[in-house]
A and B are shown apart, each in its own frame.
Chain A
């Protein structure tokens, strides 16, 4: 490994740690309040209290999103690898994305919305 290689590795590690605080802050964020479902047809914002099954039109077909027990996850999607279905429930900082259908399920953290404030306190 040359000095340049070590520099590249250090840069990748540094970038990872630069981005990490937002993910850590999301993990310690107050309980989620809302769910944002983005699809080619538009954006739908729901409260986690709005339990139910929601069907959104993706590029390849219908993507089914379930909201229950203060969680949101993709139940069914017409995509080749089913990654979105295997990703589990969406969390703050860890959205569930169905790239082939252009659908994403994000969870909005509660407590005022600005997650970074929880880190700087």
Chain B
């Protein structure tokens, strides 16, 4: 039974990673860039939040960071500044969502809004380091304002999908 549960979790994670990678790549290809460096709608984070809720933090990290690598590879930006911005934002977002996940006071909607804000602010800080000036920080109000509707949309979408997807039972070894 333990091995079947681990296999199920692994397959679940792989499917979420594929979903995140496809959505992330389509966002780059189909949607025009926003005026804040590195900002995107972040629809791929729906998969990350589902992973965080259903299969745990470690596997959510695989989905989040794996998606960054795969999309960068597909877009030809691996190792470049855009990749650095995405990686920094993904790490910060996941870290904050993991902290909020430990408290029952927050639902996936709170995770999503906090994650979106952390993602955007961290990307601006990373842009400051890349450019060597504090100029990108001037875009912080715009970045925060944009993170609110995107975070809410992602949170509500994730909640809807989670309610439709059966929760994966993890063995003690798989958690």
Contact = CB atoms under 8 A, between A and B. Distances in A.
B111 to A, nearest CB: 9
B37 A97 contact: yes
Q: Which interface class (under 10, 10 to 19, 20 to 34, 35 or more) fits B?
A: 35 or more
A118 to B, nearest CB: 16
Contacts of B105: 2-4
Interface in B76-113: 76-77, 80-82, 85, 100, 103, 105-107, 109-110, 113
6 contacts: A1-B107, A9-B148, A97-B135, A99-B81, A99-B85, A104-B133
B140 A19 contact: yes
A104 B135 contact: yes
B174 interface: no
Contacts of A1: 107, 109-110
Interface in B150-173: 151-152, 155
B75 interface: yes
A34 interface: no
A20 interface: yes
Interface residues of A, number: 39
B131 interface: yes
Interface of B: 28, 32-33, 35, 37-38, 75-77, 80-82, 85, 100, 103, 105-107, 109-110, 113-114, 117, 127, 130-133, 135-136, 138-142, 144-145, 147-148, 151-152, 155
B139 A94 contact: yes
A59 interface: yes
A80 B71 CA distance: 14
Contacts of B140: 19
A65 to B, nearest CB: 14
Contacts of A15: 117, 144
Interface in A99-115: 99-104, 106
Contact of A13 (B76, B82, B100, B148): B148
